[in-house]
Amino acid sequence: MAAINIDVPKGSRRDRFFNRSVGTKFAVTEPAKSGDATEIELYDEIGMWGVNAKDFRSQIKDSGDIVLKINSPGGDVFDGIAMYNDLQAHKGNVRVEINGIAASIASIIAMAGNQIAIGANAMMMIHNSWTIAMGNADDFEEQAVVLGKIDGALALTYAAQKGTPGIRTIKQMMADETWFSGKEAVENGFATEILTPADKSTAQAKFDLSPFLNVPKSLLVTDEDFEDGETEDDIVKVLMRDAGYTRARAKAFIKSARVGNTSKNETMLGAGEVKLDGLLSAFTDWKV
């Protein structure tokens, strides 16, 4: 398979809507002995508030064979494309194991595997790319062209997998936002084998997938699902993603919140005049 060749649009990186997450992690386990593969757990969103391409590259560049375990709702398309290309260029064997979900750009990352295994109880999702834009008609027309190029490149990447449907069918699947069970992913050529169900003791991230349109009922979660297990990193991600904070500013906000020094007049940068003082209530029972 060839690398995906899509340039980042001119100007600053664009904000996107993503999914709430909790209990996420990016863990790398070095080989215990010679000949063992490096295990990487990608249980997080893709992008600066989750796992970015730079950090991912630094973990795989000196590895031999890799077993990449995925449980991710996707995220930033250009970070995901860079991660896919780095895996494609990797000299060792890359085995992908989808243990939870591989949705959106996470499913493209999965396509870089020499073997792509998916749990019988796991899922994969493919859809057209989307973004947030502002400006005049010319600006929106330019964004539509860029999104079309991205969709075409991603469709070709899926179609390059042996056993997948033709490119027209894949483009329609993307337009429809198609979710595949483990069995369906194998039947349609997006995976090569079925894994046995993951050990229930294995830590799994939780994702609120409500931004997507056709989420299977089995994957829907409620606010109660996010009450336990929040860490400082989880709160930092919310502030970076939804309030437009830098990581440093988010950590400063948390520090101030603990001692009650946070201004109640702060607003979420990406959401107009939504006040952040209400967020303080989230720390009532939160311990670190």
pLDDT digits (tens, 9 = 90+) for 92-144: 999 999 998 999 999 999 999 999 999 998 999 999 876 666 677 877 777 77
| Cα–Cα distance for residue pair 180/162, rounded to 1 Å | 17
Which of 63, 72, 104, 129 is labelled catalytic?
104
CB 39 within 8 A of CB 29: yes
Beta-carbon contacts of 253 under 8 Å, excluding residues fewer than 6 positions away, are 239, 245, 262, 266, 276
Global pTM value: 0.70
Number of C-alpha atoms within 13 angstroms, CB side, residue 19?
Answer: 28
Domains by residue range for the chain, with CATH:
21-226 (3.90.226.10), 232-283 (no CATH)
To the query of whether residue 104 is one of the catalytic residues in this protein, the response is: yes
Which of 107, 127, 129, 181 is labelled catalytic?
127
To the query of whether residue 127 is one of the catalytic residues in this protein, the response is: yes
Phi, psi of 138 (to 5 degrees): -65, -40
Residue with token string 């398979």: 1
pLDDT over threshold 80, residue 284? no
The amino acid that residue 128 corresponds to is N
* pLDDT > 70 fraction of the chain, expressed in percent and rounded: 65
What mean pLDDT is predicted for residues 29-53?
86
